[in-house]
Structure 1
Amino acid sequence: MNFAIVGCGFTAKKHAAAINRIPEAKMAAVCDMDESAMEQYKEYGAKAYTNYNEMLADDDIDAVCICTPACSHTMLVEQAAASKKHIVLEQPMALTLDETERIVEVCRNNDVKLTVVQPVRFRPVVMELRKIIDAGLLGNISHASARINLNRNMDFCKESLSRGAKQHEAGGVMGQAIDYLDLLLWFMGQPDEVFSMAATGFMNMEAEQVAAGLIRFESGAIGTIETSTAVYYRNFEESITIFGEKGTVKIGGPKALSFEHFNIKGLSETETETIMEKVKSDPWGIPGHEQTISDLIQSIKENREPLVTGEDGKSALELVQAFYESARTNSPIGMKRGVLI
């Protein structure tokens, strides 16, 4: 399959490297209004376009990786879907729930595949935890917690106009914690109620730097999340912990790549060590972007939904918006099957 990348900033490099590693994929084109931003992609043999519609008119292009700021996603997806190009969409999918609905609908109506990039799902330690939950080894889950405490200084914000700007909702929840909100949904199921607080922290920026919240899931389990981009002076932690009646498992570290705590009833010491060593031997595994793009290719071949769908991306954004609304109103926000009520 021939892929094109739209928006040649930092994230585009991950897509280009992923496409280059996949035998069934070729990087055919890049598109950006800044011609100099596309120079580095000539080594892949990619054709450079400054006009998006002109690129979409190229019948050799099968799929488009959209790596632009979220405020532009809806328009770009609509045009790509109308041109019958399959779509790899960076998260957040969009800035509003109405836009996510439009994105999902336009892809469905044009019979093109849509997958949303949630690379943390594909880390070996996260996939092992998902297997443990699916096998019922933790029993009923009582609660879960996620903590994302990072350093994102003014230099980071200046790299993109969207970072730290309230109109782009590019604070800690939308910009950094959305991957872990997605994991909480993936592990815990549908949310029922959200309550959160947020603050701007130390830097002179509009969007939140610090936020904390509670989630009640339909199962009755409780989730907590703490996120900050104001940590001195470097990234401190990314972690998620699941507490069940038969065990407790924590994924942690600066990048959430290993098990920090692993105690499950009925698992022998040897079995426990085998699982932990398996993850430790290859903590990054196959990069999430590579697995996402490979899965899109397979989903087209097998005529099935991708592993991470537009609906998944929409659910994560619904939870983000519930956090923002709760912080704005200082009140709990009810959700019915993931939708704000």
Structure 2
Amino acid sequence: MNFAIVGCGFIAKKHAAAIDKIDAAKLVAVCDKDPATMEFYKEEYDAEPYTELEQMLGEEDIDVACICTPSGFHAPIAVQIAEAKKHIIVEKPIAMTVEDTDKITNACKANNVKLAVVHPNRFRPVVQELRKIMDQGLLGKISHASCIVNWNRNQEYYDQAPWRGTKQHDGGVLMNQAIHNLDLLLWFMGTPDQVFSMEATRFRNIEAEDVSVGTIKFNSGALGTVEASTTVYPKNYEESITIFGEKGTVKIGGTNALNFEHLDIMDMSDNEIEDLKESIKADPWGTPGHQWIIEDMVNAINKNREPAVTGEDGKNVLKLVLSFYESANQNQPVQF
């Protein structure tokens, strides 16, 4: 499969490196308004550079396009790619509004192209193991869950580009950093019923929030708490998800949520628990998430199935972030 990348900023290099590791994939083209940003991809991967998207999409040999632009530009670019009959991998968030998300998904359906959203944390070994535990019902009935992302993004980070930290093109800590963990929370806990949130911009000179706290009531009756920030001094402090069930308690955490920090399950022996913990510690990152998603897209096209992380998945977590924003703005609970 021949791949193209649209937008050659920081995240594009992860896509390029992932494509390069997959035997069935090849990076053949890149597109950016700034020719200088494309030099690396031409030299490293022999990818053809284009400053005009329409011209690049006219190339028949391109099968899949990865959208790596600022989030506020995802929708018009995705629609243009879909209408050119190319499959799409889009970075998170899928878009900045539900309306734009629907434009993307409708264009993909109308043109019979596949759509995958980049939520790579799903493919971390510890997350995959927790999913198996949940699927087997080993935790029993769930009472509540906790999602924490306390990280550092200093002012220099936001000053790198004028779109960073804006509500139109980037969003704050919920939309940009914590959205991956919120995706996992939905993956584990199901559909929310009601949310309540407070947010603030405490330290960073940006339009959007740099700290947020919130609560969720899920359709199951279980509760959830969310704490997210980019204000932590001097560096990333914690990324974790904890799930409390009647038959077990599990926390995946650390500076990045890569290991079982707590694993106590009624129907697992001490030896089983220790073996599982040690197997994760031996290779906490596993296959990089971007590589998982790109290889999965190749397989989805070949087998004519949906990708592992669908447009609907991307829409659901976007709706959760937007519900938090709405609640904080109204200072009251809102229905999901």
| Short-chain TM bin | over 0.9
Aligned to 1:7: 7
C-alpha distance in structure 2 between counterparts of 1:90 and 1:328, whole Å: 26
C-alpha distance in structure 2 between counterparts of 1:3 and 1:244, whole Å: 43
CA deviation after TM superposition for structure 1 residue 160, in Å: 2.4
Q: Secondary structure at the match of 1:197?
A: strand
Aligned to 2:293: 292
**Is the counterpart of residue 177 in structure 1 residue 178 in structure 2?**
yes
C-alpha distance in structure 1 between counterparts of 2:267 and 2:95, whole Å: 44
Q: Secondary structure at the match of 2:178?
A: helix
CA deviation after TM superposition for structure 1 residue 56, in Å: 0.1
Deviations 1:52-86 (A, max 9, x none): 00000000100100000111111111111011000
**Is the counterpart of residue 320 in structure 1 residue 321 in structure 2?**
yes
Q: Which runs of 5+ in 2 are unaligned?
A: none
Aligned to 2:71: 70
The 10-residue stretch of structure 1 (7-16 or 159-168) with the greater mean CA deviation from structure 2: 159-168
Aligned to 2:160: 159
C-alpha distance in structure 2 between counterparts of 1:162 and 1:255, whole Å: 26
Contact 2:158 2:206 in 1 (8 A): no
Matches within 5 A, 1:117-136: 117-136=118-137
Aligned to 1:37: 37
Matches within 5 A, 1:10-21: 10-21=10-21
Q: Secondary structure at the match of 1:166?
A: coil
Q: Secondary structure at the match of 1:291?
A: helix
C-alpha distance in structure 2 between counterparts of 1:275 and 1:105, whole Å: 42
Matches within 5 A, 1:89-238: 89-238=90-239
TM-score by length of structure 1 reads 0.97
The residue type paired with residue 61 of structure 1 is: I
C-alpha distance in structure 2 between counterparts of 1:169 and 1:29, whole Å: 25
Deviations 1:215-240 (A, max 9, x none): 00000000100000000010001000
CA deviation after TM superposition for structure 1 residue 204, in Å: 2.2
C-alpha distance in structure 2 between counterparts of 1:49 and 1:158, whole Å: 27
Identical aligned pairs, as a percentage?
A: 59
CA deviation after TM superposition for structure 1 residue 257, in Å: 0.6
C-alpha distance in structure 1 between counterparts of 2:12 and 2:89, whole Å: 11
Distance 1:169 1:32, change over 3 A: closer
Deviations 1:202-257 (A, max 9, x none): 12222111100000000000010000000001000100001000000000000111
Contact 2:108 2:114 in 1 (8 A): yes
Contact 1:162 1:170 in 2 (8 A): no
> What value does the CA root-mean-square deviation take over the aligned residues?
0.8
Contact 2:240 2:251 in 1 (8 A): yes
Aligned to 1:339: none
CA deviation after TM superposition for structure 1 residue 170, in Å: 1.7
Aligned to 1:338: none
Q: How many positions carry a matched residue from both structures?
A: 335
C-alpha distance in structure 1 between counterparts of 2:36 and 2:71, whole Å: 22
Contact 1:195 1:213 in 2 (8 A): yes
Q: Which runs of 5+ in 1 are unaligned?
A: 336-341
Q: Secondary structure at the match of 1:271?
A: helix
TM-score by length of structure 2 reads 0.99
C-alpha distance in structure 2 between counterparts of 1:253 and 1:41, whole Å: 34
Contact 2:189 2:218 in 1 (8 A): yes
